[in-house]
Amino acid sequence: MKTTQTVLFICSGNYYRSRFAEAVFNHRARQLGLAWGAVSRGLQLRKRPAPLAPEAVEGLEERRIPTCLTGAHPMLLTVDDLVCSHLVVALKESEHLPRIARAFPGWERRITFWNIHDIDVEPSRTALPKLELMVSDLVDLLHSGCALGAGEVGPRTEF
């Protein structure tokens, strides 16, 4: 099925959480024939030893999700990314809301914020299953045909 709509996942460095979410979403959407695809971006890129966090690679491999379902390398968020996406999810409200508000004024009101901790706060063995569940719930919601607006994608709960 051809992708017609895009969900954008945002995290700090586009190295771990957002890339994992992108691959999980794309895998699950393909399984269901959903006309949605995911991309991911970061708010600040840093030089890394590999294009994808080892924890994300391991988490995807454990789930038998190909790493090719995420971008080839980290990418910086642009206003064009925001404009071209039908749904935008930032993965940690306390980290990302202030940075998005500064860099892209007004967009913070149009983004759904989840609360998935980064690797320095919570180990991947507990954070990635939570993220996988939230992504799967989002795919299921989109598959059910529900119309979504900002703030309707998931709870703003702290894990």
Residue 153 domain-assigned (yes or no): no
Q: Are 56 and 21 in contact (CB under 8 A)?
A: no
Which pLDDT does position 152 carry in this prediction? 45
H helices of 90-155, where? 93-103, 124-143
Which pLDDT does position 6 carry in this prediction? 96
Residue 44's pLDDT band (cuts 50, 70, 90): very high
Number of folded domains that form the chain: 1
pTM over 0.85: yes
Domain span at residue 34 reads: 5-143
Which pLDDT does position 107 carry in this prediction? 95
Q: What is the CATH number of the domain that holds 108?
A: 3.40.50.2300
Kindly report, residue by residue over 80-134, the tens digit of the pLDDT.
999 999 999 999 999 999 999 999 999 999 999 999 999 889 888 989 999 999 9
Residue 159 domain-assigned (yes or no): no
- With a CB cutoff of 8 Å and minimum separation 6, the contacts of 151 are 112
